[in-house]
């Protein structure tokens, strides 16, 4: 069925029609809308109802970062309607929703606004042109004389027709390729603070998260997994568990043993009654000391991520060389909403209700587990209560589908906090060595960085790193900001025996700590103020220089209160420039972080309120990790099990946070992750100022008595 016939025959409950706009631009023809899914509904469209409702489909997941508000603002801007007039629905899984910056339907790498910026504004501009064109044809006037106003097209002679009244006529028109989004000077919404659309439902409890799903006849499952990472069950005695109340069923699934019952607590108690003989597997003797030793001794030929000038010659003629080694730990995601997935498997397919950052991968994982075609698996994306990269993984999804098929009823699998903490896909550990040289004029003449860590992408996107350096492993290093004539950035992939995953800001959180801590060391070796030293090397990076100057001015750099000390750091990541100053004190050997001042240039902001909240969220998340974050293993078993022994910032721990947003007409940059990476080096550099002690291994808590 072609676009025209579909739109002419599809009637919404309110009597309006769908205006067929491809939101992704992935369709081969702009005159077609790809149709699939229940009732042949199109995968990508802007919908206007006879009840004047305006609905857009969001192809990202909402995990607190604000896409349910920021992305609708792009459409509302072009249609000249208030943000409150927009309704939002999650998209199904489908190639038409491919994130063009990541190559799959993914929410990650701070791409949501960056990827939607052009396509959604263009979609809105096309819809505007179609509505105006329909009105102009009806009134026999020049379309240029018409304008949009409060959900209607109005003319100079008092004509007025609402969007709902024009929807049918507009839907018969071809989306014009010539439609262009508004100029920046005409923005009424974009760049202005707006309240979030999803806040009321989150406050009154009506917002539905994955763990809130309830289906008729649904059962609950708890999963028994090997206590040793990479282990497997050899034998299971389920006799005691099977006798417990709740209609207990025990099903072996790909990721462990699912214990199913009428209620989750019944499933947990029955799971704990299982007597399982485990094969500990290849990681039986793995611990952190062995992981670090392996990283230090890693052999092989490193890949070059950046090479400029003649590093060897600069080192040979150097007046002075400086070298430092840095150690970064495994980190858990520690998302607040427990990992969960609900599946309803039937003979003809499977419905999956899950908060996921990767709908297509979730679809494929269930299809593989059940022997279905991907199109037979329907992903119903739910709100996510925090993810930080955890729900890019699909390890927790197939078990629900397998359990549902086994008992012929919907099943919700829930991982307890302990399940997730001990079976997460952790941020990679790293061992990095930085070396620099000063020439005979005492100018910084060479910078070398050798990074060693496991590769996340080698597991998740092997083709992407087969012939190229893993870009996620060299973030905040390959884009070294400073004007130094000889630069070498190398990456050596070394696997440590366990799978690792994407953690908020990914490689930035590792490499920014190394680069900015080392730059501070170099400033002190050169006898220069750390701010002035950096600024002198940023003449070719005006945006980085500006945020650095802004944060220094706003924080009162050089004028710390008595007993307080400042540290500074700057980074570019995801097209965004961030600088931070940490204000700390050290009393009786104990460090306290009093304040973090942050300056941000993220290009054109869509909603400054969301930008500010994301920046503060990132600082809190990054500071938690810097102060206490560490996953330790003993004989292949993770020791941390919950927030009692994997500490995060609480209200009484949280410093004052001051964020300064810089207006910019540059293309939007990502904002969900950059601030996470900058806080650790800022605090570390402040600590040196306070105590003369260099911290080259995180967390700060590992430095005895410091926090």
Domains defined along the chain, listed by start:
3-199 (3.30.365.10), 210-281+339-414 (3.30.365.10), 288-330+426-702 (3.30.365.10)
* Distance between CA atoms of residues 153 and 147, nearest Å: 6
Residue 529 has pLDDT above 60, yes or no: yes
The chain-wide mean pLDDT, for the chain, equals 93
pLDDT of residue 25: 45
Residue 33 has pLDDT above 50, yes or no: no
* Distance between CA atoms of residues 554 and 563, nearest Å: 19
Give first-to-last CA distance, the chain, whole Å: 65
* Distance between CA atoms of residues 259 and 395, nearest Å: 17
Residue 574 has pLDDT above 70, yes or no: yes
Which of 332, 359, 382 is closest to 207 using CA atoms?
Answer: 382
Residue 658 has pLDDT above 60, yes or no: yes
* Distance between CA atoms of residues 640 and 536, nearest Å: 44
pLDDT of residue 47: 85
pLDDT of residue 441: 95
pLDDT of residue 16: 52
pLDDT of residue 30: 33
* Angular region, 612: left φ>0, alpha ψ -120 to 50, beta rest: alpha
Residue 508 has pLDDT above 70, yes or no: yes
Answer positive or negative: Cα dihedral of 664, 668, 669, 670. positive
For the chain, percent helix, then strand, then coil, each to nearest 5? 35, 25, 40
Provide the 3-class DSSP secondary structure of residue 191: coil
Strand spans (E) along 262-404: 275-279, 303-308, 320-328, 340-346, 349-354, 377-381
Is the N-terminal amide bond of 699 cis, ω within 30° of 0?
A: yes
* Rounded mean pLDDT, 668-680: 98
From the centroid of its chain, how far is CA 149?
36
Interval 124-138: pLDDT, tens: 999 999 999 999 999
Q: Are 281 and 234 in contact (CB under 8 A)?
A: no
* Crossing angle for the helix pair 163-171 and 112-139, to the nearest 10 degrees: 90
pLDDT of residue 604: 98
pLDDT of residue 10: 40
Contacts 24+ apart (CB under 8 A), 178-187: 179/122, 179/125, 179/126, 179/128, 179/129, 180/122, 180/125, 181/78, 181/118, 181/121, 181/122, 181/124, 181/125, 182/77, 182/78, 182/121, 182/125, 184/604, 184/665, 187/77
* Distance between CA atoms of residues 497 and 389, nearest Å: 21
* Rounded mean pLDDT, 45-62: 87
Q: How many CA atoms lie within 13 A of 599 on its CB side?
A: 22
From the centroid of its chain, how far is CA 593?
26
Rg over alpha carbons for the chain, rounded to the nearest Å, is 27
Interval 71-109: pLDDT, tens: 999 999 999 999 999 999 999 998 888 999 999 999 999
* Rounded mean pLDDT, 659-668: 97
* Distance between CA atoms of residues 12 and 595, nearest Å: 53
Q: Are 26 and 32 in contact (CB under 8 A)?
A: no
Residue 215 has pLDDT above 50, yes or no: yes
pLDDT band at 48 (very low <50, low <70, confident <90, very high): confident
From the centroid of its chain, how far is CA 211?
20
For residue 249, the surrounding DSSP H or E stretch is strand 249-253
* Distance between CA atoms of residues 76 and 623, nearest Å: 36
pLDDT over 70, % of the chain:
94
Residue 51 has pLDDT above 80, yes or no: yes
Query: How many Cβ atoms sit within 10 Å of the Cβ of residue 319?
Result: 12
Interval 193-207: pLDDT, tens: 999 999 999 999 999
Cα angle, residue 696 at apex, residues 550 and 554 outer, rounded to 5°: 15
What contacts 582, CB < 8 A, 6 or more positions away? 566, 567, 568, 593, 595, 596, 679, 682, 683, 685, 686
pLDDT of residue 18: 64
Which of 557, 556, 515, 554 is closest to 537 using CA atoms?
Answer: 515
Q: Are 590 and 707 in contact (CB under 8 A)?
A: yes
pLDDT of residue 2: 44
């Amino acid at each position: 069925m072609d676009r025209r016939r579909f739109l002419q025959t599809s009637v919404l409950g309110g009597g309006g029609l769908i205006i067929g706009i491809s939101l992704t631009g992935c369709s081969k023809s702009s005159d077609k809308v790809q149709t699939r899914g229940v009732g042949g509904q199109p995968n990508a469209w802007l919908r206007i109802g006879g009840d004047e409702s305006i609905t857009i489909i969001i192809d990202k997941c909402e995990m607190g970062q604000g896409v349910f508000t920021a992305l609708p603002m792009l459409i509302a801007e072009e249609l000249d309607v208030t943000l409150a007039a927009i309704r939002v629905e999650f998209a199904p899984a489908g190639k038409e929703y491919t994130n063009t910056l990541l190559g799959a339907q993914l929410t990650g790498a701070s791409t949501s606004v960056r990827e939607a910026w052009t396509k959604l504004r263009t979609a809105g501009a096309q819809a505007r042109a179609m509505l105006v064109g329909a009105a102009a044809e009806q009134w026999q006037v020049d379309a240029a004389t018409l304008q949009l106003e409060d959900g209607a097209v109005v003319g100079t002679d008092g004509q007025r027709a609402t969007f709902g009244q024009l929807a049918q006529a507009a839907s018969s028109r071809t989306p014009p390729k010539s439609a262009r989004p508004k100029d920046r000077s005409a923005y009424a919404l974009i760049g202005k603070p707006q309240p979030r659309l999803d806040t009321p439902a989150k406050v009154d409890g009506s917002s539905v998260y994955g763990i809130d799903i309830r289906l008729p006849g649904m059962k609950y499952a708890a999963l028994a997994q090997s206590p040793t990472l990479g282990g497997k069950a050899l034998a299971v005695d389920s006799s005691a568990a099977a006798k417990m109340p709740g209609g207990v069923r025990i099903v072996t699934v790909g990721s462990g043993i699912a214990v199913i019952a009428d209620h989750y607590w019944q499933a947990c108690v029955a799971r704990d009654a299982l007597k399982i003989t485990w094969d500990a597997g290849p990681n039986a003797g793995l611990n952190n000391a062995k992981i670090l030793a392996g990283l230090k001794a890693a052999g092989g030929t490193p890949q070059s991520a950046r090479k400029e000038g003649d590093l060897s010659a600069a080192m040979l003629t150097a007046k002075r060389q400086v070298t430092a080694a840095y150690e970064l730990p495994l980190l858990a995601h520690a998302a607040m909403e427990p990992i969960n997935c609900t599946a309803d498997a039937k003979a003809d397919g499977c419905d999956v209700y899950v908060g996921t950052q990767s709908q297509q991968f979730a679809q494929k994982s269930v299809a593989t587990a059940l022997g279905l075609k991907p199109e037979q698996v329907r992903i119903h994306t739910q709100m996510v209560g925090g993810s930080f990269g955890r729900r890019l993984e699909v390890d927790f999804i197939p078990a629900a589908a397998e359990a549902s098929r086994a008992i012929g009823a919907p099943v919700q699998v829930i991982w307890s906090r302990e399940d997730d903490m001990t079976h997460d896909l952790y941020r990679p550990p790293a061992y990095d060595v930085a070396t620099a040289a000063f020439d005979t004029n005492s100018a910084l003449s060479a910078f070398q960085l050798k990074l060693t860590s496991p590769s996340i992408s080698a597991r998740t996107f092997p083709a992407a790193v087969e012939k190229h350096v893993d870009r996620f492993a060299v973030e905040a290093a390959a884009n070294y900001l400073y004007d130094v004539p000889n630069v070498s950035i190398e990456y050596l992939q070394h696997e440590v025996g366990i799978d690792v995953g994407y953690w908020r800001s990914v490689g930035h959180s590792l490499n920014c700590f190394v680069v900015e801590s080392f730059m501070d060391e170099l400033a002190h070796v050169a006898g220069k103020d750390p701010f002035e030293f950096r600024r002198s090397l940023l003449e070719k990076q005006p945006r980085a220089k500006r945020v650095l100057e802004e944060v220094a001015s706003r924080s009162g750099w050089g004028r710390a209160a008595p007993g307080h000390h400042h540290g500074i750091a700057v980074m570019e990541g995801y097209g965004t420039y961030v600088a931070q100053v940490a204000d700390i004190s050290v009393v009786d050997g104990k460090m306290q972080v009093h304040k973090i001042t942050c300056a941000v240039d993220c290009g054109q902001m869509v909603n400054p309120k969301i930008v500010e909240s994301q920046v503060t969220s990132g600082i809190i998340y990054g500071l938690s990790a810097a102060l206490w974050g560490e996953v330790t293993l003993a004989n292949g078993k993770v020791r941390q099990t919950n927030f009692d022994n994997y500490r995060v910032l609480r209200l009484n721990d949280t410093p004052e946070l001051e964020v300064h947003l810089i207006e910019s007409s540059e293309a939007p940059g990502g904002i969900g992750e950059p601030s996470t990476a900058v806080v650790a080096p800022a605090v570390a550099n402040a600590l040196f100022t306070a105590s003369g002690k260099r911290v080259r291994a995180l967390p700060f808590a590992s430095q005895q008595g410091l926090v």
